[in-house]
Amino acid sequence: MAEQEERRGGEGKRRFRIGYALAPKKQQSFIRDSLVSLARSRGIDLIRVDTDTPLSEQGPFDCLLHKLYGDDWKRQLREFSAANPNAAVLDSPEAIERLHNRISMLQVVSELRIECRSSGETFGIPKQIVIYDKETLFDRQAWETLKFPVIAKPLVADGSAKSHKMALVFSHDGLNKLKPPIVLQEFVNHGGVIFKVYVVGERVRCVKRKSLPDVSEEKKVSDEVLSFSQVSNLAANQTIDDSYYEMMHLGDAEMPPLSFVTDIARGLRQVMKLNLFNFDVIRDSRYGNRYLIIDINYFPGYAKMPGYEAVLTDFFCDVLNKKTEEDGGAIEEGAAGSERSWQGCDVSGSFRGDGDQDNLQVPGLGMEEKESSVQV
Ligand SMILES: Nc1ncnc2c1ncn2[C@@H]1O[C@H](COP(=O)(O)OP(=O)(O)OP(=O)(O)O)[C@@H](O)[C@H]1O
Ligand SMILES: O=P(O)(O)O[C@H]1[C@H](O)[C@H](O)[C@H](OP(=O)(O)O)[C@@H](OP(=O)(O)O)[C@@H]1O
Ligand SMILES: [Mg+2]
Ligand SMILES: [Mg+2]
């Protein structure tokens, strides 16, 4: 009885347990005290999953949040879902798998169906080919459809440092320095600014980041190969705020229309069946209102966004609310104490955008309402 009362968080309130299974570096950057305390105040306990102990020996969990790789972990997740059909897994390993290959990752973009916009914005992906072996690399026919410069990206995007090691190749003379399997993606001049669109369930936030500089015509005949890695990623403890934009001279870079990136985010979420991801967008300097999606990441560095605690906590409440409704736990107002009633997460709470640079889209609210408190 005491344990049940403890789970109910005293005064008959039901508490929820979200287990998180993350690599140490990710846990350190994402599970901050500020997130843990805000979630706790809304009736949610964030509990570390010990990745050295079988998942089946831990819990119980109402929801599992994870960013781990490998067949054994996928097996444990399948067993967890079979044993706990009412628990939410964020997100399904099968859906995440699609993002671990840079070809299947961007294929989802071709499945998007988004209405034409009167303002004329269009989207797509850069031209790219996959090269599985050295022989193909030297088979001119394989890559002659591409225009140099190209970016050579590892085919596998599995979160390893190796999967971020890239090379900018200006001419085919540079191809012999590459190690397949790789994707050769046309480098598109985009003014040195990349837009990262963070998605947390129905919530979307677009931020600007420093990107690779444009390549001049003269440079395009060089046999050089420029290696780089994660040029647009911030250090885990760095956040995106005005000082960052000033330091990186990104202040006056125009953001893409919020409704445009939100439509793409919604489309990607439906096609990929993922809740937690971001995607990188560049504006093609040749056309001005043509946007190219160049990368999609599962469970990115949300903590770099000021106010990420409220975004994630509101999302957790959405998930738990949805699970409770699905479980038939109708929330009877004032029916505290009855077995099926659920006091649930308190989802009221102000959730504010932070200035012009970051567009903020919360469910059902337009831009003009972004400063209002969010009751979801
Ligand atoms: N097709 C392209 N045209 C121009 N610049 C590009 C292109 N692809 C990548 N870049 C540049 O290279 C950087 C890294 O590319 P990408 O985002 O695909 O790598 P990543 O290792 O997956 O990065 P992340 O840290 O976002 O996961 C981008 O942020 C951008 O600056
Ligand atoms: O600047 P962002 O938040 O995009 O940086 C992310 C990056 O896009 C990838 O999602 C990284 O994950 P992997 O691709 O699995 O390496 C994130 O690293 P992580 O340690 O936070 O998961 C970056 O934060
Ligand atoms: Mg990227
Ligand atoms: Mg990436």
Ligand showing the shortest atom-to-Cα distance for residue 158: 2
Q: Is the CB of 66 under 6 A from ligand 2?
A: no
Assign 3-class secondary structure to 296-339: EEECCCHHHCCCHHHHHHHHHHHHHHHHHHHCCCCCCCCCCCCC
Q: How far does residue 218's CA lie from ligand 3's centre (Å)?
A: 26
- Report how far Cα 343 is from the mean position of its chain's Cα atoms: 30
95-104, 235-244, 355-364: which has the minimum mean pLDDT? 355-364
Distance 297 CA to ligand 4 centre (A): 5
The atom number, within ligand 2, closest to the CA of 234 reads 1
Amino acid found at 304 = K
What ipTM does this complex have? 0.98
pLDDT score at 210? 92
CB-based burial of residue 78 (10 Å sphere; 0-12 exposed, 13-18 middle, 19+ buried)?
middle
Instruction: Give CA–CA dist 282/122, Å, rounded.
Output: 12
Helices 258-272 and 102-110 pack at an angle, to 10 degrees, of: 110
Amino acid at 206: C
> pTM, whole model, 2 decimals?
0.86
pLDDT in tens, 317-351: 999 988 877 766 533 333 333 333 334 565 443 33
Q: Which of 26-40, 105-119, 230-244, 258-272 has the weakest average pLDDT?
A: 230-244
- What is the per-residue burial (b if ≥16 Cβ within 10 Å, else e) of 250-278? beebebbbbebbbbbbbbbbebbebbbbb
Q: Is the CB of 201 under 6 A from ligand 2?
A: no
Cα separation, 258 vs 119, in Å, equals 13
Q: Is the CB of 25 under 6 A from ligand 2?
A: yes
Span from the CA of 243 to the centroid of ligand 1 (angstroms): 23
Q: How far is CA 105 from CA 95, 96, 148, 247, 277, in A?
A: 10, 9, 22, 32, 12
When mean pLDDT is compared across 157-161, 173-177, 253-257, 370-374, the lowest value belongs to 370-374
Q: What tens digit of pLDDT does each residue of 63-113 get?
A: 999 999 999 999 999 999 999 999 999 999 999 999 999 999 999 999 998
Identical topology for domains 2-90+307-347 and 99-302+353-375: no
pLDDT tens figures, 163-204: 999 999 998 888 888 999 999 999 999 999 999 999 999 999
> Residues 6 or more apart from 279 whose CB is under 8 A from it?
196, 197, 199, 264, 265, 268, 293, 295, 296, 297
Determine the atom of ligand 2 nearest the C-alpha atom of 232.
1
What confidence tens digit (pLDDT) does each residue in 1-47 have?
455 544 555 556 789 999 999 999 999 999 999 999 999 999 999 99
Q: Burial letters for 317-326: b for 16+ Cβ neighbours within 10 Å, e otherwise?
A: bbbbbebbee
Position in ligand 1 atom list of the atom nearest CA 128: 1
Q: Is the pLDDT of residue 50 over 60?
A: yes
49: helix, strand or coil: coil
Q: How far, in Å, CA of 233 to CA of 231, rounded?
A: 6
CA distances from 368 to 296, 365, 371, 372 (A): 28, 8, 7, 9
What residue owns the CA closest to ligand 1's atom 6?
187
Fold of 2-90+307-347: Rossmann fold (3.40.50)
Pairing of strands 88-90, 63-67: parallel
Across 53-67, 223-237, 312-326, least confident range? 223-237
Name the phi and psi angles at 160, rounded to 5: -75, 160
Q: Delimit the domains of the chain by residue range.
A: 2-90+307-347, 99-302+353-375
* pLDDT confidence band for 243 (50 / 70 / 90): confident
Selected from 3.30.470.20, 3.40.630.10, 3.40.50.720, 3.30.413.10, the CATH number assigned to the domain covering 99-302+353-375 reads 3.30.470.20
Residue from 295, 299, 304 whose mutation best tests the ligand 1 pocket (most atoms within 8 A of CB): 295
Residue among 164, 280, 281, 296 whose CB has most ligand 1 atoms within 8 A, to mutate = 280
Residue 186 half-sphere exposure, CB side, CA atoms within 13 Å? 18
The DSSP letter of residue 178 is: -
Overall average pLDDT of the 202-224 stretch: 86
